[in-house]
Amino acid sequence: MNRTLGVCYYPEHWPETQWAEDAARMAALGLTFVRIGEFAWSRLEPKRGAYDFDWLKRSIDTLHAAGLKVVLGTPTATPPKWLVDEMPDMLPVGADGLVRKFGSRRHYDFSHDGFLEECKRITLALAKAFGAHPGVAAWQTDNEYDCHNTTLSYSPAAREGFQAWLQQKYQSPEALNRAWGNVFWSMEVSDFGEIELPNLTVTEANPAHMMDFRRYASDRVVRFNRAQSDIIRAHSPSRDVIHNFMGRTLAFDHFAVGADLDISSWDSYPLGFLEDRSDQNDEWKQKFARTGDPDFQAFHHDLYRATSKGRWWVMEQQPGPVNWAPHNPAPRDGMVRLWSWEAFAHGAETVSYFRWRQAPFAQEQMHAGLLRPDSIEAEGFFEAAQVAAELRRLDADLDAYPGKADVAIVFDYPSAWAWEIQPQGREFDYFRLVFDFYLSLRRLGLSVDIIPASAPQLDGYRLVVIPGLFSWSADLIAAIRAHQGHLLIGPRSGSKTSDFAIPESLPPALPADVLNIRVTRIETLRADTPVQVSEGGALQFWREFIEIGSSAETILCADDGVSALVKQGNLHYLGGWPDQALMHGILLKLANAACLLTKDLDDGVRLRRHGNHVFAFNYGATSFDLATLGWTGTPLLGELVLEPSGVAITAVSGAGY
């Protein structure tokens, strides 16, 4: 595979006289791709129907002439003022009932059919104009769905769309009343037109109502993306269709959107994410303030690799300080390079930096680029140049694809919606739960694949972990039954029917031949009242009381005598949320049982297997001797003593590393 680098560029921000020089410098830096156009609607169509594509053509020509390949964005994340004035009801409405106004970006409602038609129109015009341009190699649909919390909108268009969606799903109001349990609090309706959106209610709305609204809203994002990808495919053959997802964004089903993409990409801002989106405490945030969390990027690499069946990019890589987190430190020297290599270790085809030159104006003037506003190279530029040089030397030696990991985590967006709707205890957050398992596996030196609950291919994994799954599908139960390797299920998995009710047989509601237990009661715990488990560690936040049937046995008990971990055949069930010590103990036991070689890694050192190589990364503040992990000889890249921000690659053979 030809691993490449790219950059995000806004020709409309700079005088045309500067374009050729910019393009030449990009090419000289060793970049291959340039993403442009995704916010340029007001320049592409200043008035309805008055297309002005000439400047875009000249900019694509210029980039192409310099040997660069363009990723052309559809500009639908920034509808122009004239369009908003024509159809003001296309604006999204917040849960507080207030209209979210024009003046920044993403000011549209996924449910608005009129706006969708406008998006199709501009996409078609662009696809016809540039679909066959030799400089256009790929397309990006819109920009970061859900950025600024824009999946959910409580507009009249959403209400109408939701009612039609419900009618199709339930066919009759009686069926809906039954499924939702609307007899409770006299919530019954006699017509689909009576159904309101689940906001601004006096107290909580029915969870089944909220869950269907989340499903509906996710479907609208899929519909929106598909409308664009269909047009692009029809008019720009053999170009890849890409979307750029975000970090810790769960509001829509990325597997469903990914099914319409050739390549999933995501926007990786490690320092912003640590400050803004991490559950870790201040001590951790301080420790990794200039490097980012050692597992957060990796998790998303593994997640998004799965959303489009293997092909994926980083579309935007943080190149220096950003502008949007509570604090915006500069990356430690070497981290921009490390983040780039880490993406390649997880199988990325391309890493593209955001952005070429820092803009001296408007909202993101404090956001670094590869160039400073005065066009002098910023720190990140030199690290990108180093990666480009290293790729030239090493790319051919590395396998095209990372291959299958030994361990998999099943991931499911509807479960995230469900537990957001009904956390039951403040800390119960699906992402946090899954991420806890992920980082614990990574501390054992294991590489992890993420697989969708909606298409559960468990074959070949020695250990599969299914935490916090809302509801079983028949496919997943069949896959669990057929699985030859080890499985760890729970907590809270299978605790609801798809209608958001407690299953008749009580959770986890697996057939008795698979797992013969019943969760008869649960409790949630304050963070300062964990339940100790004498073998080490504790259950925190969430704990279950399990009744054990024949063929299941208790493996671990909490100190109050309640079963914490039970086993039946190759399947373990965990009745609570383990802290890191307990999690480590359990995963280590299961990894051993699955004959996986484990390590005991520092907080800051991480490994990733990629084909016949292993990559090592040092997020920590002190150097780390890879010989202690059994590495010998001279690594392909880096040294055996891995400096802070260091990257090393070594060849391995066989299963373990």
Name the residues annotated as catalytic. Answer: 144, 316
142 near ligand GAL, judged by CB under 6 A:
no
Single out the segment in contact with ligand GAL by CB under 6 A; choices: 59-67, 139-147, 205-213, 632-640.
139-147
Which structure tokens are listed for 83?
A: 């369009």
CB-CB contact of 618 with 605 (8 Å): yes
Binding to ligand GAL (CB under 6 A) within 182-201 occurs at none
* Beta carbon nearer to ligand GAL, 104 or 634: 104
Largest CA distance in the chain: 78
Give residue for tokens 């601004």: 200
Q: Tell which one of 144, 212, 293, 544 touches ligand GAL (CB under 6 A).
A: 144
What is the pairing mode between strands 641-642 and 240-245? unpaired
Nearest-approach distance from CB 289 to ligand GAL, in angstroms: 17
316 near ligand GAL, judged by CB under 6 A:
yes
Residues 322 and 354: their CA atoms lie apart, in Å, by: 10
Nearest-approach distance from CB 389 to ligand GAL, in angstroms: 26
* Beta carbon nearer to ligand GAL, 252 or 657: 252
Torsion, Cα 483 488 492 496, to 10 degrees, reads 0
Which structure tokens are listed for 484?
A: 């030859």
Residues 260 and 144: their CA atoms lie apart, in Å, by: 15
Q: Tell which one of 124, 147, 501, 651 touches ligand GAL (CB under 6 A).
A: 147
Residues 202 and 219: their CA atoms lie apart, in Å, by: 27
Task: Count the alpha carbons within 13 Å of 57 in the hemisphere toward its beta carbon.
Answer: 13
Binding to ligand GAL (CB under 6 A) within 333-392 occurs at 354, 364, 367
Hey, is 266 helix, strand or coil?
Answer: strand
Q: Say which DSSP state 655 is in.
A: S
Residues 534 and 528: their CA atoms lie apart, in Å, by: 18
Distances (CA, A) of 428 to 353, 507, 601: 34, 17, 27
Binding to ligand GAL (CB under 6 A) within 498-527 occurs at none
569 to 598: interface string for ligand GAL, x by CB under 6 A: ------------------------------
* Beta carbon nearer to ligand GAL, 43 or 404: 43
Write phi, then psi, for 475 (nearest 5 degrees).
-60, -40
Nearest-approach distance from CB 635 to ligand GAL, in angstroms: 33
CB-CB contact of 467 with 491 (8 Å): yes
Give residue for tokens 């319409």: 260
CB-CB contact of 79 with 90 (8 Å): yes
Single out the segment in contact with ligand GAL by CB under 6 A; choices: 143-151, 167-175, 340-348, 448-456.
143-151
Give residue for tokens 């692009």: 232
Nearest-approach distance from CB 267 to ligand GAL, in angstroms: 5
**∠ Cα 197 243 612 (to 5°):** 125
> Under rule CB under 6 A, how many of the chain's residues touch ligand GAL?
11
Q: Which residues are 357's β-sheet partners?
A: 371
* Beta carbon nearer to ligand GAL, 184 or 324: 324
* Beta carbon nearer to ligand GAL, 266 or 435: 266
Nearest-approach distance from CB 13 to ligand GAL, in angstroms: 12
* Beta carbon nearer to ligand GAL, 295 or 316: 316
Nearest-approach distance from CB 270 to ligand GAL, in angstroms: 11
Write phi, then psi, for 34 (nearest 5 degrees).
-130, 120
143 near ligand GAL, judged by CB under 6 A:
yes
Q: Tell which one of 23, 322, 371, 546 touches ligand GAL (CB under 6 A).
A: 322
C-alpha torsion sign, points 31, 35, 36, 39: negative
Q: Residues, the chain, total?
A: 657
Nearest-approach distance from CB 142 to ligand GAL, in angstroms: 10
Nearest-approach distance from CB 125 to ligand GAL, in angstroms: 22
248 to 287: interface string for ligand GAL, x by CB under 6 A: -------------------x-x------------------
Nearest-approach distance from CB 370 to ligand GAL, in angstroms: 14
Write phi, then psi, for 255 (nearest 5 degrees).
-65, -40
* Beta carbon nearer to ligand GAL, 142 or 429: 142
* Beta carbon nearer to ligand GAL, 206 or 291: 291
* Beta carbon nearer to ligand GAL, 143 or 471: 143
53 to 82: interface string for ligand GAL, x by CB under 6 A: ------------------------------
User: Angle 113-130/207-235 helices, nearest 10 degrees?
Assistant: 20
CA 130 distance to own-chain centroid = 30
Single out the segment in contact with ligand GAL by CB under 6 A; choices: 182-190, 316-324, 452-460, 513-521.
316-324
- Burial of 200 from C-beta contacts in 10 A (0-12 / 13-18 / 19+): exposed
Nearest-approach distance from CB 189 to ligand GAL, in angstroms: 39
Residues 251 and 106: their CA atoms lie apart, in Å, by: 15
Single out the segment in contact with ligand GAL by CB under 6 A; choices: 110-118, 142-150, 162-170, 425-433.
142-150
Nearest-approach distance from CB 517 to ligand GAL, in angstroms: 44
* Beta carbon nearer to ligand GAL, 5 or 322: 322
CB-CB contact of 3 with 382 (8 Å): no
Give residue for tokens 């590393």: 657
Residues 35 and 68: their CA atoms lie apart, in Å, by: 10
What is the pairing mode between strands 69-73 and 33-36? parallel
* Beta carbon nearer to ligand GAL, 182 or 265: 265
Single out the segment in contact with ligand GAL by CB under 6 A; choices: 140-148, 162-170, 210-218, 247-255.
140-148
Which structure tokens are listed for 636?
A: 């392909």
Site residues, ligand GAL (CB under 6 A): 143-144, 147, 267, 269, 316, 322, 324, 354, 364, 367
